[in-house]
Amino acid sequence: MTNKSDRSSNNALWGHKWGYADTSLKINEDRSVIMTGDRYALSGYKMPYLIPYIEELLDIKIELKDVLEEVKQAYITPPNCNADFTQAIADLFPAHQYSFEDSERLLHSHGQTTFEEVHKVLYSQLERLVDMVFYCESTADAQKLIELAIKYDVCLVPFGGGTSVSCALKLPLTETRAIVSVDMKRMNRLEWIDRENLRACFQAGITGKQLEAELRQHGFVCGHEPDSLELSTLGGWIATNASGMKKNRYGNIEQIVENITLLTPTGVIEQIAPTPRASMGMQLQNLLFGNEGNLGLIIQAVIKIHPLPQVTKYGSLIFPNFDLGVKFLYEVAHSGFIPASIRLVDNNQFRFGQALKPKSSSILAYLDKLKKFYVLKLRGFDPQQMVAATIVMEGAAEEVAYQQTNIYALAKKFQGLATGATNGQRGYMLTYAIAYLRDFLSSYYITGETFETSVPWSEIQQVCNAVAQQLQELHRQYNLPGKPYLSYRISQSYHTGVCIYFMFAVYIKGVEHPEVICGQIEHSLRQTIIANGGSISHHHGVGKIRQDFMKDTLSPASIELLRQIKKASDPQNIFGVRNNILAESDI
């Protein structure tokens, strides 16, 4: 079920699964694991330690031939066609701009939320599918499509890279109108570039990978690097209020974007021209960040750009425990030498990274043994407690040198040990490859999810401990086999707090309705986060899986104001995806 537009290229996508079709993980007869293809640092070598690590942490035994079978033929409901609308589309647009094909409809009816969407696509069925897919190629196309949707009362759902992990693409079950998925990926051009003022205008359907490649040809970079960089789109970043790994240097998406063009049923929302900053009263543009498809189609955006950095250097550190690592991050965050990216992983994630390494040759194994002797014996690090930080420093040579000198000097204050640029680069780049692990493990009855939050510095350990304790309790309550897995990392640091990114997994063999149970677990863990001082989300967004936490986030009057803005700009609810505060019961 790959995206039709990508089938003939080297960038063919899995479609229903994550990422590129030439990349997956396989277990060999000797129980080592290999990643196919050659896209990532993990590709092409045997990983003998991964399966033993997973079995130890989950307290299970993976049987190579005991595989959870995917559905052979997905159940596809017939399209609910609006005959007049369909005829109008056929009269105005060429056939390659719309589709009723089952495979395309299924592909455009879900994101990448593990339990609510991907598990159902692979192993059961989705409850509701889009009825038609429309491939938008221009602003004029978008305007005409909205006009027809208003005239014939059709529901439109914007679709970018399909990487949402908040059920933002899950379709409302109570929607009786025809639902059209508006695929924006053909609107992927650079409109203009302003070299002197360091800004550029891109169409909203461009992916992060395409955007950076285009800018590099002109000697520039945007620097927004979410984990989904290869697949997610500029419009999707805005719609979810996204964050990237190098936000320290380049900003989160709300600091990167200077102007947004949004087409709504009542007209165009945008500033007349981008400005560095303006005091113009209330700024509607700020409401467009995080709109999650509720208000209209994002057509294009003006973004800040930067000259290509002179130097990019990676680094890595290990600390005896998570507490010392957090204290180090606190000092860095309030210093004058903050790197482009710095992330701290807990012991479970640190050990996971080690499990992804190949078996060393004799001389490398000897050197590894010496390093372990120094770290564990001479320095007294506990392998069950030690944590790691990966660092990316970017900019002018003098700037990077200054950061490097001061960061490593500061690390010594907290017993940190430098572990080299190679480990730092590998740890940073692993982010793009690890997402494939979910689909690999799901076939062996292991399912999991990622979720994130922002918390004040003072609440970090409390939130982490509370989530770990609640997961253990829920695992017992649901009588799940084995043990639960939880790991976390601090992926972004701010003046007042941090983003904590969690990963959890459970073994589901023999469990009835695991997608329901696991969804309930994730929901309960989010409750625990909020009860202990964390936010509803840091960058994944609200979508539908966190809708009922909005009352813990905004005051009633704030929620009502947002609903009234929706009604004013879209009185027919043409953009009826019903994310965030616009839950099904509210319209």
Active site residues: 501
**242 known ligand binder:** yes
| CA distances in angstroms from 340 to 133, 247, 490, 494, 525, listed in the order given | 39, 7, 14, 12, 30
**325 known ligand binder:** no
**309 known ligand binder:** no
**163 known ligand binder:** yes
**117 known ligand binder:** no
**251 known ligand binder:** no
Q: In terms of residues, how long is the chain?
A: 587
- Nearest Cα neighbor of 478 from 505, 518, 451 is 518
What is the residue type of 17?
K
**164 known ligand binder:** yes
**243 known ligand binder:** yes
Q: What is the DSSP string of 481-550?
A: SS--EEEEEEEEE-SSEEEEEEEEEEE-TT-SSHHHHHHHHHHHHHHHHHHTT--S-SSS--TTTTGGGG
**228 known ligand binder:** yes
DSSP 33: E
Other C-beta atoms within 10 Å of 19: how many? 23
| CA distances in angstroms from 532 to 3, 330, 459, 486, 494, listed in the order given | 41, 20, 7, 17, 19
Q: What are phi and psi of 158, to 5 degrees?
A: -60, 140
| CA distances in angstroms from 82 to 149, 176, 512, 518, listed in the order given | 10, 11, 38, 36
**471 known ligand binder:** no
**504 known ligand binder:** no
**416 known ligand binder:** no
**240 known ligand binder:** yes
What the block records as the tokens of 200 is: 């550029």
Q: Mention every residue, 6+ apart, whose C-beta is less than 8 A from residue 382.
A: 320, 321, 376
**162 known ligand binder:** yes
**63 known ligand binder:** no
Q: How far is the C-alpha of 265 from the C-alpha of 189, rounded, in Å?
A: 24
**553 known ligand binder:** no
**293 known ligand binder:** yes
What the block records as the tokens of 50 is: 């991964």
Q: How far is the C-alpha of 315 from the C-alpha of 328, rounded, in Å?
A: 15
Binding-site residues for substrate: 438
Binding-site residues for FAD: 158-164, 227-233, 240-243, 292-298
Binding-site residues: 158-164, 227-233, 240-243, 292-298, 438
